[in-house]
Structure 1
Amino acid sequence: MRAPTVPAPAGLLRRVLPFWLGFAALYLLYRWPYVAALRQGDPDDTLRLVQVRDLLAGQGWFDLHQYRVNPPQGVVMHWSRLVDLPLAAVELLLRPLLGAALAEQAATVIVPLLTFGAILYLLAVLSRRLFDDRLIGYAALLAGTSFPIVTQILPTRVDHHGWQIVAAVAALLGLTDPDARRGGWIAGVALALGMTISLELLPLAALFGAVLALDWLRRPGESERFLGFMSALALTAIACFALTRGPDLTNYCDTISPAYLASLAIAAVGSVLTARFAGQKPFAIAAGLGVSSIVAGITLITIAPLCRAGPFAALDPLLRTMWASNVLEAMPVWALDNPAKAQWIVPPLAGLVATFLLWRSGGAEDRRRWFAYGLVLCGSLVLGSLVLRSMAFAIAFALVPLAWLVRKLAAQLESAPGLPRKAGIAALLLVLVMPAMPVYFADSLLGTAEEADSGEAGATGTGGDNAMTAVRALAALPRGTVFAPLDQGPLLLLNTRHSVVATGHHRGAPAMHDVMTAFLVDPPVARTILARHGVRYVFMAPAGNEVGVYRSMAPHGFAAQLSTGQVPDWLVPVAMPKDSGVLTFEVRQP
């Protein structure tokens, strides 16, 4: 390992730019049908655009209500304005040139690709710091072909997951910074921003804190990195709360709120007091940090006792069974099929092996750095195995040591004597770079390959071309509240003036429960639920995945009867384009 150097931004940009341009062109070509039609790959992306539209139309910066979801009171979203800000800024910048519609379309391309550029730049800084400039290309190629990372930065992917990866990699820069105090502050600021974007980064922040605390215990005289981390984490979180939430002091369990801020402040103050009075005695340091953590935890559950049950404490059994337990990104990694498992698990495992090799062969300072790096990578791999959305962090952390291993094997491939040895090294490289490919071929040969879901695009809430013709027809009808599957709610909000009963976002749990219940029960009971919400239209695609679940659970329920043409007399069919695959009805008023 070479001595750490201060990266030159211009030089790094020149090295990263060709890779960014190449991958950006490929991603844009791949996603062009979505870009051209302003379609998103996920309902969260769609609702994010709705939130930005509302902001640009004059809704208050601190007002996160979606007033057209479960009107008239609406639903307060748990999303952060930090993610809205770059989208809104790009739109405002381009509106004078392109007009509002094209500016929004351009923002859905530019912002995700800039996010990817930020990831590549941070990986380049890390590659130069830990190795040399020649590793930058390897790390960029691995990042650009890493499915768990690429899926979060494709054009029209405007939700918060890409920015979370940026925050995580920035925190890793803080962990490896040769200046301990500066490194602690960088890691703390990055993870505080990440937690403000989404509380999903709280376990990662706890992991970094634990690794830095262990480093302090191993070297009792060097507390700067840990103290800088804790101070930056608390102060930045408080500042972000003031800038993005302002007067809203409600103690939510699914986002940074006063209860979490109090807990972070106590942990930070406790850390400073521990450093002040414990001296260089490991037992006293451990005791001080332990007491601070306990007091911080007690503070959190005292101020917000519901948070003991986690961020989804308000979900009832129906929502937990039918919705929360079926959200793919919240599932463990073993819920994936075999090729996907390999693509998600092998790279971080290989990166962990590479980290061990680097630790074993390094000097004292290098061993300390790689030990901390390995702990963070191992911990993030465990987190990602339990909750799939966190696996992108483990893969991002693994990229630089994995790039080192790939470069080492590529050099061996060039100099290896004999075809068998070359073939063996080439096969190993294939497994490291594209692990899904050999697994897929093995599954195909053994006849165990799983078939992909064939549900139509509209079932996911993104809206295929056919479904969009029905949405446009619905948009032409007089304004009203639409009863529709949860995943199609954001699509209707973005493309019509109508309101919807609910979307698949847990803050609206009571209305979500009503939608699911109404689709499952007999039509007379469903009519009562719809009347309670002032529903004017019913909109659903019988072939959609979500409707399919309702039909399978209740073969004689409301969704099943509508799908088979059994329409109650209180619904009036509304003509839709024949190829749309969507049924629409207007509720007959008493």
Structure 2
Amino acid sequence: MAAPPAPPPPARQEPPARIGPALVLFAVLLVALMNLGGLAGWNAGLLDGRLVDPDSYLRLLTILELREGAPWFEDVTPRLAAPDGLVNQWTRPLDLLVLLPALAIEALAGLPGREALVWSGILVSPLTHVAAILAAAWAAGIAWGGRAPWYAALVMAGTPAVATYSALGRPDHHGLIIALLTLGLGAALRAAMPGGRARDAALAGAAFGLATWSGPEALIVAVPALAAFGLAALLAEDGRPLARRGLACSLGLAAACAIGIAAEHRPAAWLVAEYDRLSVHHLGLALLAGAVFAVAAAAGARPRPMRAALAGAAGLAAFAALLALFPGTLRGPLANADAAYLALFHPTIQENQPLPPFGPGDPWEAAIYIAGGAPLGLLALWLALPGWRRDGRWPAALVLALPLLAGLAATFGARRFGMDLAPPAAIAAAGLVGLVLQARRPRSEALRASLATLLFFGALAVPFLGLRAQETPGSTAVRAEATARCDWTAMGRWLGAARPGVAPGAPAPVLIASDVFEGPELAWRTPYRVVATPHHRAGRAIEDTLGFFAATDPEAARAIAARRQVALVLACVARGSETIPAGSLAALLRDGAPPPWLAPVALPPGLSGFRLLEVVR
């Protein structure tokens, strides 16, 4: 590959739009509009006091435990995966973003602690979405100047994956991760520009480290951004400045990881490798990357073939060391998942499935996650590259292009990574309108403006057309009917008020529920410890829950109940009963013929779709 020519003095770039009150207000309005639209879809239950998903209830449970005096380093949630408790892989940054405002709400509004936590949890993700939009606007101003910040705001606000995971009523760490990754990319862009400074690269690494502390999927963006500095150092006339900035970025990442490890883990666990939450594995990765950049910096003035050989050998050695020290590296967070979860549950969760054509579904599925910012960003970088090669900004193009390509590959592998694709996509896509308006063809300025408008807004509309196409006639009514027949929120509220089987001063009884996804909400709303939860470290609890209700031998089910110390059994028999295996315990409960060791508990008429039974000892 031919090396880029030595850069001339940088071309004068149009000043970016100021990130002032107008842009802040624009970001707030965009997030408000996305959430108002979402109230008819993904977060409609919020109007009835429901949070969006099981993760939201688990997050509030862990924060409530901290609020009520649980040790800072405690990572076992005793209310789930009972009686052993669930090892929770989530870390504390988002917990503090929810807890501290909740304490202020308690003090200022006089609300009870649980209610204050709910309000803080409802609002936190939209606020991180606003932060991500402003970070994208800032980064787009660095990359493109002009009006690009406004376009970046539109792309970041209108990415369905980001909007969904940052919705009202969804206290989720992904919004925080996206905001930090976008800040990191902006700082990395500044460092990669002509005259960039190592200080900016260190700040980028620190932002990537904070994002990794919040969730290790941040590496999908952070590692390719680091790699961009390495590739640029190999291609540049003199690779030393870019290699030194890569070293600074690695050290910033390492410093943030070290601080996070000290803050998250007891000293005895500082050297314990975990892959689904911040640990020494991530610190080791950053330090090994820094060692490679140190070699690249030392060899940066050598001829390119020798430079590539030395840096390549250092990279291979570092990669081998990483695999030797941390064998689960290539499996990522799933290296800590329970085998039973991977076998029984992981393949059934839609967000973990590959996109078509690599997985099931129609082309609209891919359009929802991929169309929009990603193709606009690729097109913008392709159009900009000749000019950026001439004025020396080509390393910045690599900082955007490699995370964008990595995010695309990850999203095709699993839908959920569409969130991590959003930061590079939004920043890169923001330049397209300006590039088209400044192009030589078509000659007519009006035609160029029309083309830019059609490309930009047409691409942003495609994911929403896909969402509309996925809505089948009557699907909303079907969901509403299913909820009415087995309303788990109403069931949780009744259990929290009636408290059957709860004795003053005794340990909280264990409840096993037929729907694994409803476990965290039941644990939040009731005094019970719950067996079922859909999280990847709860594999044995999932296996026991499914085995209990599917058992054709009541004594086998009784053995599971004894091992799990179950006091109450809760099953929905009004929804999906046609899928209940004949002769199973679930079928016996549906038919009102439980085994003698289960005694029915009377329920109010509104909960007639459920069966609640007490285990007779």
TM-score for both structures, normalised by structure 1: 0.86
Code of the residue aligned with 2:509 in structure 1: it is G
1:181 aligns with 2:198: yes
Deviation at 1:398, TM superposition (A): 1.8
2:493 and 2:173 map into 1 onto residues whose CA distance is 28
Task: Please tell me the residue identity of whatever aligns with 1:483.
Answer: I
Once the two structures are superposed, residues 293-314 of structure 1 have per-residue CA deviations (whole angstroms, 9 ceiling, x without a partner) of: 4444444444454556553346
CA deviations over 1:224-282 (Å, ceiling 9, x no partner) = 22111111122211111111223234332322223443343233234325534665344
Looking at structure 1, the residues matched to 59 and 318 of structure 2 have their Cα atoms a distance apart, in angstroms, of 33
Change (3 A) 1:507 1:278: same
Give how far 1:33 is off: 5.6
Is 1:51 the equivalent of 2:62? yes
Summarize the Cα distance change of 1:324–1:574 in structure 2 as closer, same or farther, 3 Å threshold: same
**CA contact 1:91–1:104 (8 Å) conserved in 2:** yes
Cα distance, 1:415 vs. partner? 5.5
- SS of 2:334's partner is coil
Matches within 5 A, 1:412-427: 416=446
State percent identity of aligned pairs: 24
Aligned residue type for 2:204: A
2:141 is aligned with 1:140: no
Name the residue aligned to 1:350.
376
Residues 422 and 17 of structure 1, relative CA distance in 2, 3 Å threshold:
closer
2:92 matched residue in structure 1: 81
| Range 517-526 or range 557-566, more displaced | 557-566
Match of 1:394 in 2: 421
- 1:251–1:584 CA distance, 2 compared to 1 (3 A): farther
The separation in 2 between residues aligned to 1:519 and 1:191, in whole angstroms, is 44
What residue number does 1:210 align with? Answer: 227
- Of 134-143 and 556-565, deviating more is 556-565
Report the counterpart of residue 517 of structure 1 in structure 2.
547
Give per-residue Cα distances to partners, 1:352-404, cap 9 Å, x unaligned: 01211111344331344224422332222122221222222323322234233
Structure 2 counterpart of 1:41: 52
Q: 1:555 to 1:291 in 2, by over 3 A?
A: farther
Distance 1:215 1:569 in 2: 72
* Structure 1 match to 2:26: 19
Would the aligned equivalents of 1:76 and 1:507 in 2 still touch at CA under 8 Å? yes
Q: Which residue identity is paired with 1:16?
A: L
**Deviation by residue 1:84-105 (Cα, 9 ceiling, x = unmatched):** 1110111111111221244223
* 8 Å CA contact 2:509, 2:529 repeated in 1: yes
Question: C-alpha distance in 2, partners of 1:158/1:50?
Answer: 11
Amino acid at match of 1:122: A
Which shows bigger deviation, 333-342 or 45-54? 333-342
In structure 1, runs of 5+ residues without a counterpart are none
Contact 1:168 1:190 in 2 (8 A): yes
The match for 2:354 is 332
Distance change (3 Å), C-alpha of 1:372 and 1:424: closer
Contact (CA 8 Å) 1:174, 1:182: kept in 2 or not? no
Measure the CA separation in 1 of the matches of 2:180 and 2:218: 9
1:192 aligns with 2:221: no
Please list every run of 5 or more consecutive structure 2 residues that lacks an aligned counterpart in the other structure: 1-9, 503-507
Aligned equivalents of 2:485 and 2:139: distance in 1?
A: 41
Q: Which residue of 2 aligns with 1:577?
A: 604
Is the counterpart of residue 241 in structure 1 residue 261 in structure 2?
A: yes
Between the aligned partners of 2:425 and 2:281, the Cα distance in structure 1 is 33
C-alpha RMSD of matched pairs (Å): 3.5
Instruction: Map 1:452-463 onto structure 2 (within 5 A).
Output: 456=479
Q: CA deviation at 1:483?
A: 0.4
CA distance in structure 1 between the aligned counterparts of 2:445 and 2:118, rounded to whole angstroms:
49
In structure 1, the residue matched to 2:5 is none
Could you tell me whether the CA contact under 8 Å between 1:471 and 1:495 is conserved in 2? yes
Instruction: Write the letter of the residue equivalent to 1:392.
Output: M
Q: Verify the 8 A CA contact 1:380 1:393 in the aligned structure 2.
A: yes
Q: Judging changes above 3 Å, is the alpha-carbon distance between structure 1 residues 330 and 289 closer, same or farther for their aligned structure 2 residues?
A: farther
CA distance in structure 2 between the partners assigned to 1:357 and 1:246 by the alignment: 50
Match of 1:559 in 2: 586
Contact 1:260 1:300 in 2 (8 A): no
Q: State how far apart, in whole Å, the 2-side matches of 1:74 and 1:458 are.
A: 34
Tell me: higher relative CO, structure 1 or 2? Use CA pairs within 8 A at least 6 residues apart.
Answer: 2
Structure 2 Cα separation of the partners of residues 260 and 425 of structure 1: 42
Evaluate the alpha carbon distance shift between residue 364 and residue 36 of structure 1 in structure 2; reply closer, same or farther with a 3 A threshold: same
Aligned to 2:487, the other structure's residue is in SS state helix
Match of 1:225 among 227, 241, 245: 245
TM-score by length of 2: 0.83
- What amino acid does structure 2 have at the position aligned with 1:56? R
Whole-angstrom CA distance in 2 between matches of 1:122 and 1:426 = 23
Q: Does 1:466 align with 2:487?
A: yes
Q: Which moved more, 1:247-256 or 1:483-492?
A: 247-256
**Residue 483 in 1 paired to residue 512 in 2?**
yes
Q: 1:403 to 1:259 in 2, by over 3 A?
A: closer
1:527 aligns with 2:558: yes
